[in-house]
Amino acid sequence: MSQVSRKSTNLYDSDFNAWLEEQAAHVRAGRAGRLDLVNLAEELEGLNRSQRHEIENRLRVLLLHLLKYQMQPELRARGWLPTIAEQRDQIAIVLRDSPSLRGYPRSVLTDAYARAVRMASIETGLPVSDFSPACPWAIERALEEGGLP
């Protein structure tokens, strides 16, 4: 490992922000040989996982609120609609910025729905068996602005 690489690795461990700034400066200056490639690759992969996690988590929250809205019309809270809208908006922003992830919500819909049902059961006091075993909404409908059960 070169002196520069060892310095970058130490900086990565001791001051992540300074390491990021250093790596960006190396990229801008075309100093590819000075990049901390191992840690840089790890961080890039982490960004990808982070975007996927954000979509899945927001989809779960969206489905949770759609379920509560559907299953307890007499208890509909004012905060449910803004939460539904916010989750849809944030998913749309991630998908706008990363169009290659457009198919991802569909691929995690089943898992996100199962987790939403478990949480909805806890929050509503209704048994899991009262909820549809499969997501009652196509992904397009769930993400559709203004669409409600």
In the predicted model, what is the mean pLDDT of residues 97-117?
A: 97
Q: Tokens standing for 56? A: 């899945």
Cα(82)–Cα(65) distance, integer angstroms: 10
| 115 and 57 Cβ atoms separated by less than 8 Å | no
- Chain centre to alpha carbon of residue 2: 37
Give the count of alpha carbons within 13 A of 29, CB side only: 10
Residue 119 pLDDT exceeds 90: yes
| 84 and 62 Cβ atoms separated by less than 8 Å | yes
Residue 9 pLDDT exceeds 70: no
Cα(67)–Cα(75) distance, integer angstroms: 12
Residue type, 139: I
Residue 47 pLDDT exceeds 60: yes
In the predicted model, what is the mean pLDDT of residues 89-106?
A: 96
The mean predicted confidence, pLDDT, of the chain is: 92
For the whole model, what pTM was predicted?
A: 0.80
Residue 4 pLDDT exceeds 60: no
In the predicted model, what is the mean pLDDT of residues 30-34?
A: 94
